[in-house]
Amino acid sequence: MEFALIPYILFLFLIGYWASRWNRSVIVWCLIALLLSPVVAAILLLIFGNNRPQCPACRAHVDPEASKCRHCGSAL
C-alpha cells in the first residue's frame, strides 16, 4: 500500500512542475491530479496546452514580460 502512494505523490509533483513550466497554476493542477488522477491531469494539461507566448518571427517560446525575443532578437 505504501509503495503505491510514493509514485502517486511523485506524479503529483511532476504534474505541478509541468504546469509551472507552461505558466499554469501549480496548485490547481496538483489538485486536479489529486482528485482525478495524475494521468487524467496530464491528458488535460496536454489538451489545454501551453500558455506561454510565442515570438512571431521564430515561433520560440518567450517570457510574458519580454520585449525582445532572446533567440532571434525581434521585437515582441
Per residue in 16-33, pLDDT (tens digit) is: 999 988 888 899 999 999
Extents of the domains making up the chain: 2-48
- pLDDT tens digits, residue range 44-54? 998 987 777 78
User: How far is it, in rounded angstroms, from Cα 14 to Cα 11?
Assistant: 5
pTM over 0.85: no
- Residue 27: per-residue pLDDT: 92
User: Which bin fits 66, alpha (ψ -120 to 50), beta or left (φ > 0)?
Assistant: beta
